[in-house]
Structure 1
Amino acid sequence: MGEIRSPYFSLGQYSPYFSHGGEDYHGDDAEIHPPYSSAGDYHGDNAEIHQTYSSAGDYVEIHPPYSSAGDYLGDNAEIHSPYSSAADYLADNTGIHSEALFHQDIYGNSCNAQQFVKHGKITRLVRVALKSEQESDVCIYRVDGALRKSNEAMYSPQLISIGPIHYGKKNLRFMERKKSEYYKQFWKDRVSKEGEYWKGAEDKFWNALEEHEYKIRQCYEDGSHEIKSSERFLDLILYDAVFIFELFLKYREGREKYINDSLLKEPGLRLVIRRDLILFENQLPFFILEKLYQLLPENIKGKNTEFITLACSYFKPHLPSNFSPAATMPLHFTDLVRSLLSYTRNSKSVGPIISFHNATKLRHAGVKFKVPLEHDCLLDVDFGNSGKEFHIPQLEIDGNTERLFRNLMAMEQRIYPGKEYICHYINLLRILVVEPKDAKLLMENKIVNYNDQVAVRDLIYRLASDTIDSHSCYHNIFSAVDVYCKSFWAKNRAYFEEELFGNFWKGVGTVSAVIFLVLSLVQTTCAVLGLR
C-alpha cells in the first residue's frame, strides 16, 4: 500500500545472440561480403557487415540486432498509451544501420602491432598497446550487494545502457538501434553541415578516445566490466557519447525539432531515458564527454560552449533546485545531479545528532513548518525566526523519487565519505516522519507534495534504512530544536493550544465548554442569591 513505484517503460526481453556462424539468424535482403561466398555462409537481416581480418585465423564476434521488435517483451513494467505493448511502440519506425550498430571483437595475430577495423565509412587505426597515463580515481562503481539486494531494479537501467557495466544486457539491446540511428544523424545530418569540418571529424573523436583509453578505464571499478578488446571498448564509449550529444542537442532545440523523433516524441520514453542517465552504474566519465564536445564546431555548440551547460539544460528543469553546478568538473551525470541538489559551494560541518523530535511533537511545541520563499537547493533546511519555524524546501514525490535518491546515496557512500549530504537529508526526514500523521503534517504544510501519507512514511523509511547515521550536517539544527523543545513555556503553551484549539472542532468544543462553565457559575450564583 505504501510503496511508490516508478511508471517504467516495458523492460525488454530479446532473443539471445545467434551463433558465430550466423546459422540461427536469418533474414532477407542481406548483402554478403567476403570472406563469405554465399548467403548460406552468413545470414543477416538488412545488414551490411564490413570486416577486416589481420589473418585468416582471426575470430570475429558479432552482436546482431534482434529479428523483430516483438522479441522485446515487458517485464515488471507499465506500458503507457497510445501503445498497448512495448512491441507496438518499438516497431519498424527506426532503420537498422548495421555498419554502425554491430560491434566486433577482433582478435588478430599477437605479433601484429596494429589492426584496422572498419566503422561506417572511416577506417580507424586501433592501437593494441595502451598509452601510459596518470592513473585517475575510480568514480563509477557497481552498487554493493547489500544495497542492490534491497531492490535491484532501482540501480539497473530499464531502457538504455551507458558505459560498459550494463553493456550487452538482453533487455537493453533494442536501444543499440537508436544509438546507431542517432550516430548517423549526428555525423551526417548535423556535423556534415559544417562543410570541411566533416572530413575526418569522426577520426578526431576516435583519436581522443584512444589517447585517453587508460584514464577512461581507470574510472571504472576493477572487475566492473569485462570488455578486454581495446577496439570494442572504445567503440561503445564512442556510440554512447554521440548518442548523449545528439539527445541533449535535440532536447535543447525544443519540441518542434523532435516532435517527429520516434524516441523523443513520447513523454514516457523521454522520462525513462532521463532516469537511466542518472543511475550510478550507468555512466561515462564526464571528462571524456567534455573533451569530445570541445572538438565540435562552435555553430553546433551554440550558446552552450561548455558541455556542462548543455547537460544542465537537460537535467536541471526536472530537479527541485535553483543551484548551479559546482565549479569543479563533475565526475559523471550522477555527480552532476548531486551538485544541483546539494551543497556545492560551501561544505557543511558534520557533527553528532544529540536529540530526536518528530514532526508531531515539534508541532505540539509550537514549531511551524514552512516552505522557504527563497532557497538555493533541496537540502537548504533552516530553523529560525526565534526558534519557531522550521524551513524545509518542498520535496516533490513521483515515480522516480526513490530511484533517484537511492543512486545518489549509493554514490555518496562510495565517493564522498564525511560529505554524504543527500544521506543526511533523508535521515532528517526519517527523524521528522515516524508515523503517517507526521507525514500528513508535512503534506499539509506543503513540505512534501504527495497525496498518500502512509506511502510517504514508507518511502522515507525504505530510503533511510540504508543510511542511518548518528552524524549529520544538520546537527546544529537538531541542537537548536532540542533547546527550544526543552523550554518550559514553549512546551506548556504549545500543548495547551494543540489540545484545546488544535482544529476547528476542538476550538468549538473548548469555547462551548467555557461558555457552559460560565453559565453554570452564573446560574449557581443566582440560585444562591435567590435563596437569601
Structure 2
Amino acid sequence: MGDSHAVDIPSLAQQLREELAAADAPPPRLPGGCPIVIAVVGELTRNVDPAEYVPHHVCIGPNHRSRSPPLARDDEKLRNLRDVMSVASAGVTLEDYLGEVARIEWQARSCYDRTFEQMSSADFVRMLLLDACYLLVRFGHIAGRRGNGGGAAGAAPSVGGGDMMEAVAVVRDALYLAENQIPFFVVDKVHRLTVPDAGVPATDAIAGYVRELLRGQQYSVATPVVAAPPGPGNLLHLLHMHLTPTALSPHTTGSRATGGKRQFGRWRTAAEYHCAGVGFRARPLGGIGGARSILDVKLNRRGSTLEIPRLNVDAETWRLLRNLMALEQSNPAAAGSHVTAYCVFVSQLACTPRDVELLSRRGVISHGLGGHDEVAGLLAGLCKGVAFRPDDPVGNYLHATWQAMEGRFRSRPRRWAAWLMLKYFTNPWLAVGLAAAAVGLLCTVVQAVYAVLSYTPAT
C-alpha cells in the first residue's frame, strides 16, 4: 500500500467512464447552425508561410485578439459603432444592439473550432458588435461609405481619409484571412436592426463590394445567389462563393477519351504538354462562352488546346488562394474542394521558370514580380501541407480534364508529330529545307519508277 507505483484501479476506471461518456455525448445543436466553421489553420500548412494567415492591420473575431491587442483597433471600431447608430431607425438604442447580439452569442461561439473560455460573455458580445459595425461600414454601404473596387493588389474599400496602403490592408485582413473572421449572421443581425426597411440585406450589400473587388482583379465575373439559405458563413466564404467552376460535373469528352479508368497522377508541366502538342490559350472572362472565374479551365473541342483564364499574380495572390484552401480544408462538406483542385493544377502546371515563361507568352499568367523564377517557386509551394483527393471526380472538378490531357500526352503518334512541328516547322528556313528535301526525295522516287517502267529488255 505504501508503494508509490500502486494504481487505484476502481478510481481510474470511473474517471475513464466519465471521460468516455463526455466524449460520446453529441455536441449541442443551436438554432440556425453554422454553415462554415472558423478554424485555426493546421501547423503543417501554416509552417510553409505563417505570415499568410495572420492579420497585420486589424483583428476580426477572437482568434488573434489576445495575441495582438494593438490590432483590435477598438478606437476605430467604436467610431464605426457611432456611424452605424447614427443611421439606425428611430428608437433603436445601444441596449437593443447588445441584446440582439447577446441572444446569438453561443451560436456564434459554436462557429469556432475553439471555445475561448478566457473571454467572458460581455467581452465576446462587445467584440462581435464592434467587429460587425466595422465590417458594415467598410464593405456594407452603411453610413455612406462604400469601397470603389479595382486596384492592382485588390480593390480597396474607402476608409474615410486613409491611404491606399491602409485600404489594401483592410481588404487583406478582413476578407482574405480564414482565421480572422466572425460569423456572417452576426453582421446580418446588426444590419437588420440598423436598416430594417432598407430592402437590401447585408449579404447583397457586401456581395456587391466583393463582386467589384474580384472583377477588378479579373478573378471572377460571377453573380452567385448569396442571400438564399444557408448563405455565407463569413466574408471569406462569401468571396469563395464567387469562385465556383461553371461545371462541377466530370467532362464527358475527357472520360470517353481514356475510358475513365486511369488513376489520377500529377499534372504534367506546361513545357511537357507543349512538347506533346498541347496548346495553351487565355480564356476571356465574361461574354458568350467566356469563363465566370479563374477556375473555369477547359479543353477545346478537339482536345488540342487548354483554355485557361488569365491569372493576374500580385503580392496578395498567394494569401488569397492559401486561405481559400484553408477554408475548404476545414469545411469539406460545405465548401467543397474546387479551389484546392485549381491550386493543385496551376502549382504543378507552372512549377518551373520555363513553364511560367511559356504561359506568360500565351497570356495565361500575368505578373509584375521579380522574375519568372520567383513566380514558379511560389506556385510550386502553393499546396504544401494541403490534403486533397485528386482521384475523386466529385471533389476534383478537373479530374476528367486531366484524363484527356494524360491520354494526349501518352499518345506516341501525337508526340512525334508535335516533335516534328517544334523541331522543324517553328523555324521557317528549316521548314523550307525539309520541304525541299521531301520534294527532292519524291522526284528521285518518281524518276526511279519511270526508269523501271521504261526499261525494255533486249530480245
TM-score normalized with structure 1 length:
0.64
2:20 alignment counterpart: none
> Residues 204 and 228 (structure 1 numbering): CA distance in 2 closer, same or farther, change over 3 Å?
same
> Residues 274 and 254 (structure 1 numbering): CA distance in 2 closer, same or farther, change over 3 Å?
closer
Amino acid in the other structure paired with 2:240: R
Q: Are residues 1:222 and 2:119 paired?
A: no
> Residues 510 and 206 (structure 1 numbering): CA distance in 2 closer, same or farther, change over 3 Å?
same
Answer yes or no: is the 8 Å Cα contact 2:128–2:186 preserved in 1: no
Q: Are residues 1:231 and 2:142 paired?
A: no
Q: Deviations over 1:175-214 (max 9, x none)?
A: 22211222222223x33xxxxx332343332221121111
> Residues 399 and 355 (structure 1 numbering): CA distance in 2 closer, same or farther, change over 3 Å?
closer
Alpha-carbon distance, 1:232 to partner = 1.1
Answer yes or no: is the 8 Å Cα contact 2:101–2:189 preserved in 1: no
2:33 alignment counterpart: 136
Answer yes or no: is the 8 Å Cα contact 2:65–2:72 preserved in 1: no
> Residues 185 and 251 (structure 1 numbering): CA distance in 2 closer, same or farther, change over 3 Å?
closer
Match of 1:361 among 254, 272, 279: 272
Alpha-carbon distance, 1:276 to partner = 0.4
Alpha-carbon distance, 1:140 to partner = 0.6
**SS of structure 2 residue aligned to 1:392:** strand
Answer yes or no: is the 8 Å Cα contact 1:436–1:454 preserved in 2: yes
Q: Deviations over 1:480-527 (max 9, x none)?
A: 11222333442222111111233xxx33345367669999x99xxxxx
Alpha-carbon distance, 1:325 to partner = 3.1
Amino acid in the other structure paired with 2:220: S
- Identity fraction in percent: 23
Structural mapping, 1:126-525, within 5 Å? 133-134=30-31, 136-137=33-34, 139-170=37-68, 172-173=70-71, 175-188=73-86, 190-191=87-88, 197-223=89-115, 225-248=116-139, 249=141, 250-252=144-146, 261-263=160-162, 266-277=163-174, 278-297=176-195, 301=198, 305-319=200-214, 320-326=219-225, 327-328=228-229, 329-343=231-245, 347-348=248-249, 352-354=263-265, 356-373=267-284, 374-416=290-332, 419-451=336-368, 452-467=371-386, 469-471=389-391, 472-502=396-426, 506-511=427-432
Amino acid in the other structure paired with 1:252: R
Q: In structure 1, how many angstroms separate the alpha carbons of the residues matched to 2:29 and 2:418?
A: 68
> Residues 386 and 230 (structure 1 numbering): CA distance in 2 closer, same or farther, change over 3 Å?
same
Q: In structure 1, how many angstroms separate the alpha carbons of the residues matched to 2:181 and 2:357?
A: 37
Structural mapping, 1:37-116, within 5 Å? none
Q: In structure 2, how many angstroms separate the alpha carbons of the residues matched to 1:439 and 1:254?
A: 32
Answer yes or no: is the 8 Å Cα contact 1:206–1:238 preserved in 2: yes
Answer yes or no: is the 8 Å Cα contact 2:351–2:379 preserved in 1: no
Q: Deviations over 1:239-294 (max 9, x none)?
A: 11111111122543759xx979233xx11111110110121111110122122212
Once structures 1 and 2 are overlaid, which stretch shifts more, 209-218 or 165-174? 165-174
Alpha-carbon distance, 1:381 to partner = 1.0
> Residues 251 and 380 (structure 1 numbering): CA distance in 2 closer, same or farther, change over 3 Å?
farther
Q: In structure 2, how many angstroms separate the alpha carbons of the residues matched to 1:458 and 1:469?
A: 23
**SS of structure 1 residue aligned to 2:295:** coil
Q: Deviations over 1:309-336 (max 9, x none)?
A: 1111222222211222354401111111
> Residues 139 and 170 (structure 1 numbering): CA distance in 2 closer, same or farther, change over 3 Å?
closer
Q: In structure 2, how many angstroms separate the alpha carbons of the residues matched to 1:240 and 1:514?
A: 72
> Residues 336 and 476 (structure 1 numbering): CA distance in 2 closer, same or farther, change over 3 Å?
same
Q: In structure 2, how many angstroms separate the alpha carbons of the residues matched to 1:160 and 1:335?
A: 19
> Residues 132 and 142 (structure 1 numbering): CA distance in 2 closer, same or farther, change over 3 Å?
closer
Answer yes or no: is the 8 Å Cα contact 1:156–1:279 preserved in 2: yes
Answer yes or no: is the 8 Å Cα contact 1:159–1:171 preserved in 2: no
Answer yes or no: is the 8 Å Cα contact 2:101–2:125 preserved in 1: yes
Q: In structure 2, how many angstroms separate the alpha carbons of the residues matched to 1:186 and 1:404?
A: 29
2:11 alignment counterpart: none
Answer yes or no: is the 8 Å Cα contact 1:209–1:234 preserved in 2: yes
Q: In structure 2, how many angstroms separate the alpha carbons of the residues matched to 1:457 and 1:253?
A: 32
Amino acid in the other structure paired with 2:82: K
Amino acid in the other structure paired with 1:272: A
Give the total of aligned pairs. Answer: 374
Answer yes or no: is the 8 Å Cα contact 1:159–1:272 preserved in 2: yes
Q: In structure 2, how many angstroms separate the alpha carbons of the residues matched to 1:254 and 1:399?
A: 20
Amino acid in the other structure paired with 2:221: N
RMSD of Structure 2 on Structure 1 (CA): 3.1
State the structure with bigger RCO (CA 8 A, min sep 6), 1 or 2: 2
> Residues 346 and 442 (structure 1 numbering): CA distance in 2 closer, same or farther, change over 3 Å?
closer
Q: In structure 1, how many angstroms separate the alpha carbons of the residues matched to 2:432 and 2:159?
A: 65
Which stretches in structure 2 are left out of the alignment for 5+ residues? 1-27, 150-156, 252-259, 285-289, 444-459
TM-score normalized with structure 2 length:
0.73
Answer yes or no: is the 8 Å Cα contact 1:180–1:239 preserved in 2: yes
Answer yes or no: is the 8 Å Cα contact 1:358–1:434 preserved in 2: yes
Q: In structure 1, how many angstroms separate the alpha carbons of the residues matched to 2:235 and 2:318?
A: 17
Alpha-carbon distance, 1:464 to partner = 2.1
> Residues 405 and 184 (structure 1 numbering): CA distance in 2 closer, same or farther, change over 3 Å?
same
**SS of structure 2 residue aligned to 1:449:** strand
Alpha-carbon distance, 1:390 to partner = 0.5
Q: In structure 1, how many angstroms separate the alpha carbons of the residues matched to 2:90 and 2:135?
A: 19
> Residues 251 and 185 (structure 1 numbering): CA distance in 2 closer, same or farther, change over 3 Å?
closer
Q: In structure 1, how many angstroms separate the alpha carbons of the residues matched to 2:385 and 2:266?
A: 20
Q: In structure 2, how many angstroms separate the alpha carbons of the residues matched to 1:134 and 1:359?
A: 49
